[in-house]
Amino acid sequence: MRKILLDEDDVPKQWYNILPDLPKPLPPPINPITREPVKPEELMALFSKECIIQEVSQDRWISIPEEVREAYMLWRPTPLYRAERLEKMLKTPARIYYKYEGVSPPGSHKPNTAVAQAYYAMKEGVERLTTETGAGQWGSALAFGCMLFGLKATVYMVKVSYNQKPYRRMLMELWGAEVYPSPSTNTDSGRRILKEDPNNPGSLGIAISEAIEDAVTHKNVKYSLGSVLNHVLLHQTVVGLEAKRQMEIADDYPDLIVGCIGGGSSFSGLFWPFYYDKVSSKAPKAVQFLAVEPTACPSITKGFYTYDHGDAARLTPMIKMYTLGHMFIPAPIHAGGLRYHGKAPTLCLLSREGIVKTVAYNQVEVFSAAHQFMRAEGFVPAPEPSHAIKAVIDEALKCKKTGEEKTILFLLCGHGHFDMQAFEDYLSGKLPPYEYPEEKVEEAMRKLKDLYPWLEVER
């Protein structure tokens, strides 16, 4: 079976929440001044109330409001493909499947949470949502979600991407959002950074500071985050819940699940429901989970496990995660969505416990894998999921050597139709194989310890 489709009735009615099934309790976010856990009520000033209730909920299943399911039905259920042509090209005995989220109007998995967040904000009487965006995928998803539910959206877009990807900005503007290149002159945090360095290319950490500042200094405005937090990852589980049904139809079950990680939402959305099978002894196989990150932003493979801020201006509470330090300024790699210094605390805990493994690849090998995939399967992958494709090809080639008939499932979380400049740079040999230097990670950790001498910093 080449393509496995579901009916609209199969759009999940509940999201799966991993919190009650984690091997250890999740370390809570803390206030760095008091070093005490941040109370959910304090976070409600910033985020929609319902999102914060979900953030700390211990309920395993959370109902999806009917209005959100209806919005999902514009593009969900999304297809699951068997990559037969790629298997043949690689001459591998492995069976490769991919769940394709590029069919949504903004072209990625991001609207799975954007429509839910916009819906809850609308219900709570919020007038405008602010956010940051790297490559523009998340910003366009939120612009789309806000358009559906009649809210205004303000997006701070990392300056390097704002210049690299004018069509993503255009898309956001067409859906009605205001878009600013970050650092901008709109906020104190932006102005401070521009004063120090007028050519600062921006980072997700800086754009988050600006979006938060904009939200807290205006009435009836809330902030919305596209990854990292528990409620965001939870909303993405529609991906994995559908994929489980589709694998059943294919009469198969994955031995290995692969996904790229920026903050960890798309990959978590795919693997959490299979993790649930595993912990509830329902999984027919000992499924393994493999996350893939860029060598230019190696949070898990080279970073430290500690409490750190989510943003450059230290406006967010500190969260326990693998981090490269909140002042991290990434190299201008094309996978804009994978340039965040930290990762989701749930994913970091599962990595710490050895349940999720992580590998890193440089962008040259990643684009080469994307090109190979495109020539086999036809779809143009976004640079972010191309990281997963590289890992899948490597695994499939290992199977070719060993003869193992592994079933591999990966997430093609977005299309790369707005990334043609990146492909052109790849084809003309202009892409450098960036690796983030070890010394920079150590320097960032020294600075973090100078700020907070009480911090425990582990590798």
Ligand X SMILES: Cc1ncc(COP(=O)(O)O)c(C=O)c1O
Q: Where along the sequence are the contacts to ligand X (CB under 6 A)?
A: 108, 134-135, 137-138, 227, 260-266, 337-338, 382, 384-385, 413-414
- Please spell the DSSP secondary structure of 387-430, one letter per residue: HHHHHHHHHHHHHHHHT---EEEEEE-BB-TT-HHHHHHHHTT-
Rounded to a whole number of angstroms, the minimum distance from the CB of residue 208 to ligand X is: 13
CA 172-173-174 angle, 5° bins:
90
**Least Å from the CB of residue 48 to ligand X:** 19
Q: Is 219 helix (H, G, I), strand (E, B) or coil?
A: coil
- Would you say 92 or 416 has its CB closer to ligand X? 416
Cβ proximity to ligand X: between 202 and 262 the closer is 262
Closest approach, Cβ 279 to ligand X, in A, equals 22
Residue 137 CB, nearest approach to ligand X (Å): 3
The smaller minimum CB distance to ligand X, of residues 87 and 416, is found at: 416
Nearer to ligand X, 264 or 345 (CB): 264
Beta strands in 47-199 (DSSP E): 61-63, 80-82, 95-100, 128-133, 152-158, 178-182
Cβ closest to ligand X, residue 241 vs residue 399: 241
Q: What is the dihedral of CA 379, 136, 306, 434, to 10 degrees?
A: 60
Closer residue to ligand X in complex, CB, 68/291: 291
Q: ω into residue 183 within 30 of 0, thus cis? A: yes
Q: Give the strand pairing for 61-63 and 80-82.
A: unpaired
Q: Is the dihedral of CA 420, 426, 430, 435 positive or negative?
A: positive
Residue closest to ligand X, measured at CB: 337
User: Is residue 134 classed as helix, strand or coil in its secondary structure?
Assistant: coil
What's the min distance (Å) between Cβ of 337 and ligand X? 2
Q: Which of 112, 172, 110, 180 is nearest to 147 (CA)?
A: 172
Cβ closer to ligand X: 154 or 161?
161
Q: Residue 217 Cβ, how far from ligand X at the closest point, in Å?
A: 25
**In the complex with ligand X, which residue's Cβ is closer, 138 or 304?**
138
Q: Using omega within 30 degrees of 0 as the cis cutoff, is the peptide bond preceding 330 cis?
A: no
Q: Can you tell me the distance from the alpha carbon of 139 to that of 62, in angstroms, rounded to the nearest whole number? A: 25
Nearest distance from residue 133's CB to ligand X, in Å?
Answer: 7
- 12 within 8 A of 246, measured Cβ to Cβ: no
What is the closest distance, in whole angstroms, from the C-beta atom of residue 174 to ligand X in the complex? Answer: 18
CA 330 to chain centre: 16
Q: Rounded to 5 degrees, what are φ and ψ at 19?
A: -50, -45
Q: At what angle do helices 49-56 and 111-123 cross, to 10 degrees?
A: 120
